[in-house]
């Protein structure tokens, strides 16, 4: 439906609109009542019962209304056509829509209701809905508090959920059938989806690996160096050569000096290595590793096809189970 331009009208214009809409609604009610009564008048049993109950009224209706029903209905139609033309002119004057010719498409039920054919006449009742919407917008009524509105909203919600759930489940069934019938799904996904974006994906993976390694070291630098010193200390303590060295005169001081030197050297090496994560050489290395792993990941075989197919089918099955849950039952129970 074409978008409308919301324009605030003055209270006087709103009242004029409202009075005219009320007049049209009264005419619609009168026209539909006449249409219903005349349709029942055509039924022989009801016609006979009406004649037996009120012969004078039956005769007057037959002569003055039923015999001229088409002309009377055309008089109503003339008023409805005038209403459409006036509404169109007002919409153009108020610039209510983006284009001047949108009005008959937006108010299609008003246009079709002007056709003097039985099926189209029933569309005139939709004007009542239009009036209720205007009254609701003006704050004169609140249909949300009406019992009938609650009942209609409840069953509309139930109907809409059931309908959309069945459509969604049917679509997922079709997707599962397409997956089962496809002999090269993984190959097509790789060739048509992944490979055209291979370079961008490799760069993204490399950047994430670099960021992850760099951030991990930056936030855990002290713990990492403490662990390295402890590891060097345990290694030297368990070394037979260091134990023999400690038995010599001044050996303990020499062993502690070696431990401190080795710990500082190891920590410096670890620190230099991890700070080198930001270097271009490391970036090139990570990108090369990611590219090698990416190529290995993209290789497909019959087993890969089967696993990919089963994973997709199982995921769709879970979606179907989730969609099949009747949320309206929990909402209205």
Q: What is the mean pLDDT of residues 273-302?
A: 67
Tokens 């004649």 -> residue: 51
137 or 46, higher pLDDT: 46
Burial of 115-142, coded b for 16+ CB within 10 Å and e otherwise, reads: eeeeeebebbebbeeebeebbeeeeeee
Q: What is the pLDDT of residues 196-225, one digit of tens each?
A: 877 787 777 777 766 776 666 666 677 777
User: For residue 134, is pLDDT > 70?
Assistant: no
Instruction: Give percent of the chain above pLDDT 70.
Output: 76
Q: What is the mean pLDDT of residues 143-172?
A: 88
User: For residue 10, is pLDDT > 80?
Assistant: no
**Cβ count within 10 A of residue 94:** 12
Residues 218 and 248 sit within 8 Å (Cβ to Cβ): no
Q: What is the mean pLDDT of residues 281-288?
A: 69
Range in 56-65, 165-174, 319-328 with the lowest mean pLDDT: 319-328
Q: 42 CB contacts (<8 Å, ≥6 apart)?
A: none
User: For residue 132, is pLDDT > 70?
Assistant: yes
Q: What is the mean pLDDT of residues 89-118?
A: 82
Q: 51 CB contacts (<8 Å, ≥6 apart)?
A: 58
CA R_g for the chain: 41
Q: Which pairs count as long-range contacts for 95-99, CB under 8 Å and 24+ apart, including other chains? A: 95/5, 95/7, 96/4, 96/5, 96/7, 97/2, 97/3, 97/4, 97/5, 98/2, 98/3, 98/4, 98/5, 99/2
Q: What is the pLDDT of residues 228-263, one digit of tens each?
A: 778 777 776 767 766 666 666 666 776 677 777 877
Q: Specify the pLDDT at position 278.
A: 61
Q: What is the mean pLDDT of residues 118-134?
A: 72
Tokens 């290395």 -> residue: 285
User: For residue 274, is pLDDT > 50?
Assistant: yes
Q: What is the pLDDT of residues 41-59, one digit of tens each?
A: 989 899 899 889 998 998 9
Q: Where does the pLDDT of residue 6 fall: very low under 50, low under 70, confident under 90, or very high at 90 and above? A: very low
- 4 DSSP 8-state letter: B
């Amino acid at each position: 439906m074409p978008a409308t331009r919301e324009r605030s009208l003055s209270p006087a214009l709103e009242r004029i609109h409202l009075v005219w809409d009320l007049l049209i609604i009264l005419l619609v009610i009168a026209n539909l009542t006449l249409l219903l009564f005349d349709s029942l008048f055509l039924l022989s049993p009801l016609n006979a019962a009406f004649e037996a109950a009120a012969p004078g009224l039956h005769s007057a209706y037959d002569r003055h209304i039923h015999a001229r029903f088409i002309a009377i209905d055309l008089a109503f139609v003339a008023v409805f056509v005038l209403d459409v033309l006036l509404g169109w002119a007002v919409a153009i004057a108020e610039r209510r829509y983006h284009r001047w010719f949108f009005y008959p498409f937006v108010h299609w039920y008003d246009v079709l209701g002007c056709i003097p054919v039985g099926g189209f006449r029933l569309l005139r009742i939709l004007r009542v809905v239009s009036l209720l919407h205007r009254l609701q917008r003006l704050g004169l009524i609140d249909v949300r508090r009406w019992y009938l509105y609650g009942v209609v909203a409840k069953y509309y919600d139930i109907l809409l959920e059931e309908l959309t759930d069945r459509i969604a489940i049917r679509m997922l069934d079709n997707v599962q059938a397409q997956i089962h019938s496809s002999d090269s799904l993984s190959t097509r996904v790789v060739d048509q989806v992944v490979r055209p974006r291979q370079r961008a994906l490799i760069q993204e993976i490399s950047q994430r690996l670099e960021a992850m390694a760099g951030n991990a070291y930056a936030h855990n630098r002290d713990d990492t160096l403490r662990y390295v010193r402890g590891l060097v200390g345990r290694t030297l303590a368990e070394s037979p050569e260091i134990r023999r060295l400690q038995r010599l005169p001044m050996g303990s001081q020499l062993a502690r000096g070696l431990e401190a030197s080795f710990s500082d050297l190891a920590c410096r090496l670890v620190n230099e290595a991890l700070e080198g994560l930001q270097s271009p050489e490391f970036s090139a290395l990570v990108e090369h590793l990611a590219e090698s792993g990416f190529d290995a990941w993209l290789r497909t075989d019959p087993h890969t096809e089967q696993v990919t197919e089963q994973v997709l089918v199982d995921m769709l099955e879970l979606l179907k189970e989730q969609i099949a849950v009747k949320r309206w039952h929990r909402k209205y129970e």
